[in-house]
A and B are shown apart, each in its own frame.
Chain A
Amino acid sequence: MPRYRLWLLTVALWVAGCGGPFPQTTLEPRSDFGSVIDQLFTGIFWWAAGVFLVVETLLVITLIRFRHREGRPAPKPTHGHTLMEIAWTLAPAAILVFVAVPTVRTIFATAGEAPADALKVDVIGHQWWWEFRYRELGLVTANELHVPLGRAVQLSITSADVIHAFWAPPLGGKRDAIPGHVNRIAFRADRVGVYDGQCAEFCGASHANMRLRVVVDSDSGFGRWATVQLAGPAAPAAGTLAERGKAVFARSACIGCHTIQGVSPGVIGPNLTHVGSRATIASGLFPNDSAHLASWIADAPALKPGSLMTRMKPPLKDDDIAALVAYLASLK
């Protein structure tokens, strides 16, 4: 990490009191895509900082040196100086060459191209959650994107409704998710971990609540995760609360919007076949525990303004909700 970055972060930490860690920072890239952007920004930052220092210093010196004093003779009415004006036209132009050349190089390096063996994932933005489809694996999940460490990943980003933007800052820059249009980004994650991100294009009432997580697994960890996701849903044991929950699910409005493999085919909301394996619910808003799940099922719009998952009419009874929670939690 370049030294100025440490310095900057130290200042930020100091200002923030305790602050860090910063889960969505752009300043500590964790992928090749993030790193080239960061290097480019670092270069431009130094040019900008240099120009800032020179010009502001010049301004301050001018103000001090030529401030009004009694008895100062009237200033000479100079109208201009051609040579100097040419010089300060050319100087910024010359500096911009040093910004433009690496910029164009990086534009082409970050155009979303990926090698043939890259893991390809379709990213679909919805108001207000994310759908991830692994084409080759035949796997569909929501809000938590798993990718293997060190392998090239290519995301094909689009939207099912309005314009969103997919952004997981430590892994690189954002791209808009536009209906009827596919944008690609490619990256290779270089450290195992969980990285936060969120929608970056204003997309309506709950834009702020459209968060996401990218889990970078080790190669074997990713394989284990994919195997679990590809299996059918867990079948609740007879006589358990979860089994009753499955029955509630099957006779309620849930099936209209959600898929649980072999149970319901809905495609409006997130696929719930393995919802119990996810760490969060409501697109990264809350931990996936029974308390949050219960209040989410009871009244999602209260937790996420504008949510399309409206309160059921007539409302579900408390024991039905408890059964549903048990069932969903069992879908590991």
Chain B
Amino acid sequence: MSEARGLTSWLTTTDHKRIGLLYFWTALAFFLIGGIEALFIRVQLAQPNGQVVSAETYNQLFTMHGTTMIFLALMPLGASFFNYMVPLQIGARDVAFPRLNAFSYWVFLFGGLLLNASWFVGPLFHAGMLNVAPDGGWFGYANLTERQYSPGPNIDFWVLGLQILGISSLAAGFNFIVTILNMRAPGMKMMRLPAFTWMTLVTQFLIITAFPVITVGLAFLMFDRFFGTHFYVREAGATPILWQHLFWLFGHPEVYILILPAMGVVSDVLPTFSRKPLFGYPVVVYSGILIGLMSWGVWSHHMFAVGLGPIADSVFAATTMLIAVPTGVKIFNWIATLWGGDIRGTTALHFAVGFIAMFIIGGLSGVTHASPPADLQQTDTYYVVAHIHYVFFGGTIFGLFAGVYYWWPKMTGRLLDETLGKVHFWLQFIGMNLAFFPMHLIGLLGMPRRVYTYAPELGVGTLNLVSTIGAFLIALSILIFLVNLWRSRTHGQPAPNDPWGGATLEWSVSSPPPVYNFSVIPTVTNRLPRWSTERHGPMRDPPAVPPEPIHVPGGSWWPMVAALGLPVLALAPLTQTLWVAFVGAALLIAGVYAWAFQPFEV
């Protein structure tokens, strides 16, 4: 029952906590890569007629920046908390399918490596280094991404990489839905779930419904590129607009896949540090569900310039504006949670409040382009770049950092340094506003997005320079964060079970928790089990030593072997080599087969 150590134990692990940590470190690494790509972009644009990188390199940089941040950094950072925290929050010993969980991680890692390998493998395709990375934008609009207009392997890497990452997300999605619905401790009714677990559940439903759509869209594109079909080829009577519908039908729910977990973190952090229950818990939960449902009815607001006609534009404008209502409700409920509280200004609280403050700006600028005529001036300009960064950086990233500072002691047993944390927060807060606020003006003054250069006559040189300075401030803040993480290993104060006075079950076990999580599965009688309210006292934490032996399943190599089959399969079309496909398929099938027949005994 003692925890296994060594490299093998990590490679074969099926423990949700270890998989959560693997997700965390991998996503952090990709976050740094995406950030470095962003810095190159900002250096190039720091002044007009920038000469730092070529047009072709720039197009690869912004494509990989978007793709990396969305699929390889923000989604898996959220997944790291789903993995680590959800079983703890619902009083379970692990997720429903631990080996499938390991499979999801390895598929994510290999998919991310395949995408990023494209930076270095140019020579294999008779091109230079830095020449075959994806270059069609994270949105990959057909027909630019058809073989006719993008003949190189660039878009192939993108299509195949995203298909692989989709498998990871889908497997994890089903896993977490089953876990949350079926693995709850006795008494943990749905309306007693912590808000973070609730938002995780909504997110997983969005994942399992949205990713099939992008999978279909990508499959069409893949067939067009490799087998000469004509799904998006105008000359064959098809229309490239089909891609846009499929992509945004996925793409808008994807926005909420990225923001809802952060909203969940904030909904857990605010009550803990204001010592008050979440204000209007049912309304916060229902508005999260409503946001998820409504995210399916707004995709065409990414396409107001496409010319879908005034009726469609009006309808999608209305549905888009309506989403502001449940979003506004959440913001008011969060402020009401703080109101009347005893607010302790920890770093986690700073980031959670930063989330609210910045997300308001992103939400409001969103309303300005929910109006189609106004959007005709804003779409595809830096105004929209400002908007998405207030949502994804000011929103998702601030929310996820709140989660890091909140749960780090639980995940590692060490507290992060609060002084460094606050320096990190303020630098990042100032940096992001310097970097992204001027972009509103840059856009309104007429600079389109996705341009590697702009004329000095445009008059936006100084604003762009300010933005670049902001980007480097952000980079500095992230360096301080990394120092804080590193220092915590040796200098961090040892964390008790519950350093913050939290209400939810993860704080009832040691930091980090034992491999079996709970020595005795808790019985839950209310929504705030560890607090006393006017109606109940706090629960008793599970004993430190299990009263009877707990069986813990052993690790397995097979999820990783099966996952390895996917990138090998992808190499077949990339290198136009048939036998590689058989190797990949054999790995996948053998891996799944052996995994199915391997007993759970150690």
Contact = CB atoms under 8 A, between A and B. Distances in A.
Nearest to B244: A163
A99 B332 contact: no
Contact of B276 (A47, A75, A167): A75
A106 interface: yes
Contact of B438 (A15, A62, A163, A178): A15
Most buried by B among A16, A100, A108: A16
A183 B360 CA distance: 34
Contact of A179 (B143, B361, B364): B143
B222 to A, nearest CB: 19
Interface string B308-343: 011001100110011011001101110110111111
B59 A205 contact: yes
A265 to B, nearest CB: 22
A180 B234 contact: yes
B335 A79 contact: no
Interface stretch (B34-42, B372-380, B553-561): B372-380
B445 A25 contact: yes
Contact of B322 (A44, A80, A96, A106): A96
Contacts of A233: none
Interface string B461-472: 111001000000
Contacts, number: 285
Contacts of B365: 48
Contact of B447 (A24, A63, A104): A24
Contacts of A326: none
Contacts of A16: 459-463
Contacts of B343: 63, 66-68
B216 interface: no
Given A23-B458, A52-B364, A72-B342, A44 B59 contact: no
A306 to B, nearest CB: 7
B357 interface: yes
A14 B451 CA distance: 25
A237 interface: no
Contact of B459 (A19, A38, A44, A127): A19
B140 to A, nearest CB: 10
B339 A26 contact: no
Contact of A106 (B332, B373, B458): B373
Given A26-B445, A88-B329, A79 B364 contact: no
A208 B55 contact: yes
Contacts of B345: 67-68
Contacts of B276: 75-78
B230 interface: no
B100 to A, nearest CB: 37
A198 interface: yes
A263 interface: no
- Say what secondary structure dominates the interface of chain B: helix
Nearest to A169: B446
B364 A181 contact: no
B367 A200 contact: no
A80 B374 contact: no
Nearest to B452: A208
Interface string B129-142: 00000001100010
Contacts of B282: 80
A198 B373 contact: no
A180 to B, nearest CB: 4
Interface in B413-429: none
Contacts of A106: 371, 373
Contacts of B356: 59
Given A66-B340, A208-B451, A26 B371 contact: no
A40 B144 contact: no
B338 to A, nearest CB: 5
B371 A44 contact: yes
Contact of A40 (B309, B342, B373, B379): B373
A66 B342 contact: yes
B444 A25 contact: yes
Nearest to A11: B441
A175 B340 CA distance: 50
B3 interface: no
Contact of B367 (A22, A26, A48): A48
A160 to B, nearest CB: 10
Contacts of B149: 127, 161-162, 204
A165 B451 CA distance: 13
A56 B307 contact: no
Contacts of B374: 37, 40-41, 44, 103
B9 interface: no
A77 B277 contact: yes
A59 B357 contact: yes
A201 B457 CA distance: 21
B55 A306 contact: yes
A12 B307 contact: no
A45 interface: yes
Interface string B149-175: 110000000000000000000000000
A107 interface: yes
A69 to B, nearest CB: 8
Contacts of A181: 239, 241, 307
Given A55-B360, A59-B357, A63-B353, 7 more contacts: A16-B461, A45-B368, A74-B275, A89-B325, A163-B141, A173-B373, A305-B55
Top 6 nearest A-B pairs (CB, nearest first) are: A173-B376, A24-B446, A208-B451, A80-B280, A183-B307, A305-B55
23 contacts: A22-B459, A23-B446, A23-B459, A25-B445, A26-B445, A37-B377, A52-B364, A58-B335, A62-B339, A66-B343, A67-B345, A89-B328, A91-B328, A92-B328, A111-B310, A127-B149, A161-B149, A162-B144, A163-B143, A169-B377, A178-B306, A181-B307, A202-B380
Interface of A: 8, 12, 15-17, 19-27, 36-38, 40-41, 44-45, 47-48, 51-52, 55-56, 58-59, 62-63, 66-68, 72, 74-81, 84-85, 88-89, 91-93, 96, 99-100, 103-104, 106-108, 110-111, 127, 161-163, 165, 167, 169, 172-176, 178-181, 183-184, 196, 198-209, 211, 305-306
